Structure 1
Amino acid sequence: MEQDDVFQAVKLPFSPQEYLCTWNLPDVRSENRDNGDGRRDGGESGTVELNGTLDLTTGHDPRGSFYGKLPIVFKNRVADFPQISSFEHLTGRLSTGAYFVLINGQHNYWYIDHGHANGEFAVLSGKPFKKDEHRTYRSIELQLEGLDRIIDTSPTETQFDGEKSSFSITFDKTCWEWRHDDVSMKLYFAGRSRRDPYNFVMSFAPVLRIDADSPLTVVDWWTNWVIPLQEIIASAIGHTPDIMYMLAIAEHTSKREQRDQIFKWDIKQESLYHSADTTRRSEFAIKIQKDNVNLLNLLMKYQELLASHHPLTETFQSVALSSDQHPRSRFLLLIQALEGLHGFEHCEEEDKQRQAYKKKKKECLAHMKEVITNDDYKFLKENMMSSPFVTLESRLITIFDTLPSGVREKLDRSALIRQFRELQKKPNIRMEAALARMRNKLSHGAISFAPNDLNDVVEILYRVVRAELLRVLGAPEACRMRLLNDAES
């Protein structure tokens, strides 16, 4: 079914299309020359108003064009082209009457009467934007692909009465709410109905809302909240979820909140189409109701791990947000994630081992100095390792010892491990040693494998990494075990 044919649960204020508009372009010429009041060509102070278009169709950065008498900078009556400048915000108004701001981009003057602009974000609103400051918001509302898959309850119950030729629908107003310090989160079903007597339609889909006591800019909301949330959902469903839409609310004073719509190249600008088929395809790691998952706590923990540069979260970003990579690259990243996780969690233990080793090394060298020649002593001192060697194999063994035995057994039976044992003529090499040596040889280009064979192992390792991430985030053990049990099968 095409998306246009689907009756969506949420009706967005604006559609992703190309709009006619008026731009307020900054006029750097006004710093040295103006018409007496700092205004030029009918624009705001220090700006020039020009007609043009704003393209908010999906799949690319928000962009636009403008034409007319551009604020070109001349030097000795000569202008060099192109004239390119960066901006934090560029404002304007649509021909429909709505207002917009383009955030974090560049405007390019290629000709004296024509130019282009592009930005990281565009925001559409019914309220004018100030040209010299970022608008801040206390709340965001959004939908992500995958929210419908981690919710293990239905929004409605339907009853049919064949004798009376009637049916009834009961809406379940179940809502999950969490609060942590000055932030609250709410997950609930939004719905719409169309009461056409010939085609009665109702549609429901989950919506997530986050409220903060301290307002944030669009960029901060995206960086600090939306991306971490996207990666948490990725750990549950196995791939990076699409952001369907994002609305931002500046104030809570009015009964009807002013909701600005956020545009970005990877925001779909459509509501989730939720159906029973999507929830029956597979069992996903998180079940909000059954596991009593606190999604806000997971999100706050993820932010904490990112701030501390936890190697698992930093590497998981590369894996989760690039699922179209070659299996070779994903294999190397996943092994790196497990190696980094072990090193991070055992850093105190390994530090104690290093201190004990250094002490023993010093004692050994002092003893050997008395019984060997000076040349031998110098050679020994220069070639003894400065710290104990912890192998990747030993790190992997420690990690897999904590997992259900079936995970290790499935990897052990894989075609990739079998091929490596044959190539190395070591039929009894343990699975963890094979993975470690494959990582080293693959990273140095000393070996290659069929992508499909690599991918079979990658899929298992990816489940292990996702399960370990959920453990580190403090998710219920049931979430982790669903991933690992599926990895065994």
Structure 2
Amino acid sequence: MYEPDTYLCSWFLPDNTGGYVDIPGDLQLRPLRPPTGQVYGTVPLQYTEHLPGVVETSFPQSMSVPVLYGRLANGGSVTLLDAHFQLWVAGGYITGSAALLGKAAFFGLAGVPAAPTSVVPPRVTSATFQITALDAALGVPPIKDVSNPHLPGGEEGRWAATVNGSAARTWLAEGAELTVSYYHRMRAMDPCEFNLAFSPVATVALTEAKPLAIVLDQYIQPLRKILSIATGKPQDLSYLHVELEGREGKYQVVGTGITQAPFASSTAAFRAHKSVVRALPDELSLLDLVTQWAQYAAAHHPLVETYGAMLHTRDQHPRSRYLLLIQALEGLYGYENKASSEQRQAKHTASYEEALAKAKNELDAKTFKFVKKHLSKKPSTSLDTALDALITGLPVNIIDRLGATELIKEVKAVSTTTGLTTAGALRVVRNDLAHGNRGYEPHHLQVVVGLLEFIVRGHALRILGCPEAVVGRVFPTD
């Protein structure tokens, strides 16, 4: 509805008496950035009156409000969430976490509230959004078949396309439903051109209205992360509009992380994404995957929390990426083997206390103090065991490919440990990098990072409930 640009508007600023004053200004909308704005002219200021006619004030004057309303010069509306403004003698600056933009009321859509007195942020009843690779993850193109006069059986002078009626699906879960389908646009009235285009979209409809931040955290960002895992590439949230409780129309959302660049599907992009998740052919519920991811994130699952935080970083040194991937795998192993670890700890604690009791009777005080200080209260653990189990515990085992990399061969060659395994070499590299013992060639690290990423992606899809066939697609066949 609104392209990134600067729009003239009027802001309804608090006037320090419980009311609002209409101040001219502007609203600046930028891709991937939070909205900003300015106010011009006389603004309501706070001051302290010491004596009649004698006042004191300071600049800049800052104020924050949960929601700030404005009216665009074109008749539309803006609702600025988490607004903060700084005022000077004349004018000031405004920032917010997100802007909700409505069309003018005379278009039959959303206008500015008649009385912008509510300080409670609006709640979302549904959100329609687009993420790159959404069509690839759906797994079905929007056109079923085409015919033209040059193909066998084609009707002379007739070009035709049949829309794929199966290229849409709605999934239900407690509290929400998710629909993924295609919007279409047809240019058919032009006597010189005929065009049919489709755009993939997802809509989350809620049974109970929620704040925008919750909708983003529980539904939109999890789906974006899942698509990034499915394709092995960072995916963008390209567009988002919402419907609000108690207000008519649709509101475009502008804020951090939204590119404001909606796209049409293309065969080239569909193939280039190489999504291993193909929801319709695989009979996978994208809503189930989203819900499971959100639950893991709320529980601080170590793989979801660690790997999820690095999914959208495009420029990261292989050193830091290596450490984070190993951390994600180590955390996953500990999470999934928590019960057995607790049993080992209980047995070790009993042995520890028994050993100390015997040592106290047999050793002198000084020796016993030394033993008590240095005897570990925890059983020994091995990162080698965790890595080996996770690397070999997927439908495709790439332990030999890891062992054939220059990095692993180099570590094994200089190691003083007899028979160092590939998992052990990975541990040595992790310890060297984490403790600053030594560094490694970035391009050698990058090769191993690429293989480790396959493993982490595979386990991420596994814990989300994807079948082995989907997990196995993560690994290249060459």
TM normalised by structure 2 equals 0.91
Tell me if 1:323 matches 2:307: no
List 4+ stretches of structure 1 deviating above 6 A: none
User: Contact conserved, 1:291 with 1:478, CA < 8 A, in 2?
Assistant: no
Match of 2:112 among 128, 134, 137: 128
Structure-1 separation of matches of 2:14 and 2:437: 56
Give 1:190's aligned residue.
Answer: 183
Match of 2:138 among 135, 151, 156: 151
Tell me if 1:164 matches 2:164: no
Q: Which residue identity is paired with 1:140? A: A
Q: Deviations over 1:287-326 (max 9, x none)?
A: 1122111111111111111121111111012221323221
CA 1:368/1:251 → structure 2, altered by over 3 Å: closer, same or farther? closer
Give 2:228's aligned residue.
Answer: 234
Q: Deviations over 1:446-486 (max 9, x none)?
A: 21122222111111111211111111111222221111x32
Deviation at 1:215, TM superposition (A): 0.6
Structure-2 separation of matches of 1:398 and 1:105: 49
User: Contact conserved, 2:129 with 2:238, CA < 8 A, in 1?
Assistant: yes
Query: SS of 2:345's equivalent?
Result: helix
CA 1:466/1:442 → structure 2, altered by over 3 Å: closer, same or farther? same
Aligned residues: 456
Give 1:83's aligned residue.
Answer: 61
Match of 1:310 among 301, 308, 312: 301
Match of 1:178 among 150, 171, 174: 171
Give 1:451's aligned residue.
Answer: 442
CA 1:452/1:358 → structure 2, altered by over 3 Å: closer, same or farther? same
- What residue ranges of structure 1 are gaps of 5+ in the alignment? 1-12, 32-45
Deviation at 1:419, TM superposition (A): 2.5
User: Contact conserved, 2:33 with 2:258, CA < 8 A, in 1?
Assistant: no
Q: Deviations over 1:159-188 (max 9, x none)?
A: 112361221111112221111122111111
Q: Which residue identity is paired with 2:11? A: W
Tell me if 1:71 matches 2:44: yes
Query: SS of 2:294's equivalent?
Result: helix
Give 2:461's aligned residue.
Answer: 470
Structure-2 separation of matches of 1:87 and 1:422: 62
CA 1:146/1:227 → structure 2, altered by over 3 Å: closer, same or farther? same
Counterparts of 1:7-406 in structure 2, within 5 Å, are 13-28=1-16, 30=17, 46-76=19-49, 77-109=55-87, 111-125=88-102, 126-129=110-113, 130=116, 131-156=118-143, 157-162=145-150, 164-174=156-166, 175-195=168-188, 196-250=190-244, 258-281=249-272, 283-404=274-395, 406=397
Deviation at 1:226, TM superposition (A): 1.5
Structure-2 separation of matches of 1:71 and 1:405: 66
Structure-2 separation of matches of 1:86 and 1:325: 35
Structure-1 separation of matches of 2:267 and 2:365: 79
User: Contact conserved, 2:356 with 2:372, CA < 8 A, in 1?
Assistant: yes
Query: SS of 1:48's equivalent?
Result: strand
Query: SS of 2:97's equivalent?
Result: strand
TM normalised by structure 1 equals 0.89
User: Contact conserved, 1:319 with 1:334, CA < 8 A, in 2?
Assistant: no
Q: Which residue identity is paired with 1:85? A: M
CA 1:137/1:416 → structure 2, altered by over 3 Å: closer, same or farther? same
Query: SS of 2:111's equivalent?
Result: coil
User: Contact conserved, 2:101 with 2:253, CA < 8 A, in 1?
Assistant: yes
User: Contact conserved, 1:358 with 1:387, CA < 8 A, in 2?
Assistant: yes
Structure-2 separation of matches of 1:92 and 1:423: 67
User: Contact conserved, 1:293 with 1:476, CA < 8 A, in 2?
Assistant: no
User: Contact conserved, 2:78 with 2:112, CA < 8 A, in 1?
Assistant: yes
User: Contact conserved, 2:67 with 2:82, CA < 8 A, in 1?
Assistant: yes
CA 1:20/1:139 → structure 2, altered by over 3 Å: closer, same or farther? same
User: Contact conserved, 2:24 with 2:40, CA < 8 A, in 1?
Assistant: yes
CA 1:473/1:289 → structure 2, altered by over 3 Å: closer, same or farther? same
Query: SS of 1:281's equivalent?
Result: helix
Q: Which residue identity is paired with 1:68? A: G
Q: Which residue identity is paired with 1:121? A: A
Percentage identity across paired residues of the two chains: 28
Deviation at 1:62, TM superposition (A): 0.6
User: Contact conserved, 2:83 with 2:96, CA < 8 A, in 1?
Assistant: yes
Q: Which residue identity is paired with 1:115? A: G
Deviation at 1:349, TM superposition (A): 0.4
- What residue ranges of structure 2 are gaps of 5+ in the alignment? 50-54, 103-109
